[in-house]
A and B are shown apart, each in its own frame.
Chain A
Amino acid sequence: MMRRALLFGLWLAFATACGDDKPDQPKDAGVDATETPDAACFENPQTHAEIINACTTAQKVFKKPSLPLLNQDGSLPQLPP
């Protein structure tokens, strides 16, 4: 479980580090219709974070939108008043 969580963390780190220089052209990375579980998933989920990232054969979409207002650390800015 720990190894899987570590791999998942690394995957997330790489995923969020990838930039996109075309902010006005959002793109969906495409539908994964292969119905195979993803490598970065949890086989025996127990917590919320593991449940939503549990292994599944369901179709999924990998999306990495370009959001200019995201803070540099990836956090969200406060909502406007």
Chain B
Amino acid sequence: MRGLTLSLVAAGALSAALAATPRAAHAVPCDQVAGLTNPVYLQVGDTQLSLMKRLARAMRDNTPRPVSLIFTTSGSCTNIRAIYDRTPLAAGVNVQYVPSIAENATWDPATSATLTCQVPAGGKVPDVANSALFNSACTTETPPATVHHARGPVQAYVMAVPKASSQTAITFEEAYFTFGFGMGGMAAPWVDESQLFIRTVTKSTLLAWAANIAVPADKWKGVRRDGSPMVVADLEASTSPEKAIGILGAEVYDSRRNTLKSLAFQAKGQYAAFWPDSSPTSFDKRNVRDGHYTVWSPTIWMDTEAGGAPVSADARYVVDLIAGRSVTPAPSFDMTAVIAAVGLTPDCAMGVTRQFEGGPLSLYKPAESCVCKYEALVDQSSCAACTTTCAAGVCRNGFCEVR
């Protein structure tokens, strides 16, 4: 727990600006960068940047099957279109990657900048695209048969305010009036539209919140920002902290807890407001996992297949890892730890699910639970420890999981 806290806070101290501005000097075509073996190109939401950095580092040093993740960030809806329409990343455009341990032993995914190379001549259709919410929130069209979908870890979204704000919670109705009516909504103190920091309409952060407060994405009042770091900067620089409010991915907020605070959210028909975590200071995402916090989406990971087989075996390997599936060869790192470290929640730790953005929650029992392990990573587990067998449940990863 302490390690996770320090990791996230350290990330906040340095990473927002650095991560958004990869080192761009002397970028060369990615296919000319020495050591970038088995490249997989990904186009992901900007909420997934922390995951990309940490996973890319692990994958480069994944001894059983090293893979070089080369990634760029864009809005979820844009990413979906890219893989549905096979839209290539343009040649010469800068994309990001990270060094291996051999190349830079001190590089830290939480605090160090990514490296930059250029999309090679001819452009490159991303091997993997990511949407940080249900695809149906962006498009209702039937996906091409050549696009393979996998549900990855759960992404929570928060409303954040400056640390100096006295506010602690926002209800569904307050959010409806604040963002649906702006100043005219009279939902004090959030009545100044210049202090409502939101996202553009292709971004998962806005679309997820839109589905949860019944305000369509294009109807939102406020200042539309293209990237999460801009919303963070707006909130941190606000001279009217009581009136300021912004929307962020929970993992982005988690890295900025020293300057921002998240509001507990009271969903429609709920008797109280809750944070994603069991308290404002914890990192356990317990309320996401048990349904008390409703503003979350599964991340969707897509790659291309032909005749039922993946076009890129390396891309499918990465997608399966992110989705929590068993892969061969087994990686030399702990994928659950990677996911937990960046503030996401693995599907195997969830106790609820939903079928569309903002849709009703239902109880969920993953085939192979990892609740005990996840809780041990982000807080502390009350589960019995085990080595081979358990009196009840299944011994997995050192804990007696329920199934």
Please give the residue numbers on chain A whose beta carbons come within 8 Å of chain B beta carbons, in ascending order.
Answer: 8, 11-12, 15, 23-26, 28, 31-33, 38, 40-41, 45-49, 51-54, 56-63, 65, 67-70, 76, 79-80
Contact = CB atoms under 8 A, between A and B. Distances in A.
A62 B264 CA distance: 10
Given A28-B167, A48-B360, A52-B269, A69 B186 contact: yes
B267 interface: yes
Contacts of B188: 23-26
A12 B158 CA distance: 25
Contacts of B362: 48, 51
A68 B267 CA distance: 19
B273 interface: yes
Given A52-B292, A79-B215, A65 B180 contact: no
Given A46-B363, A48-B361, A69 B291 contact: no
Identify whether the interface residues of A are mostly helix, strand, loop, or mixed: loop
B219 A79 contact: yes
Contacts of B166: 28
Report, nearest first, the 6 A-B pairs whose CB atoms are least far apart.
A48-B360, A61-B169, A60-B272, A51-B291, A58-B278, A61-B273
A58 B169 CA distance: 14
A32 B352 contact: no
A49 B269 contact: yes
Given A38-B272, A52-B291, A28 B361 contact: no
Contact of B168 (A15, A25, A31): A31
Given A46-B363, A79-B219, A52 B273 contact: no
B91 interface: no
Nearest to A15: B271
Given A33-B279, A61-B169, A63-B272, 7 more contacts: A40-B271, A52-B291, A54-B290, A60-B292, A62-B273, A69-B181, A79-B215
A12 B271 contact: yes
Nearest to B275: A59
Contacts of A57: 278
A68 B215 CA distance: 18
Contact of B291 (A24, A40, A54, A76): A54
Interface in B112-144: none
Contacts of B294: 52
A25 to B, nearest CB: 7
Contacts of A53: 269-271
Contacts of B272: 32, 38, 60-63
B287 interface: yes
Given A24-B188, A57-B278, A69 B266 contact: no
B280 A59 contact: yes
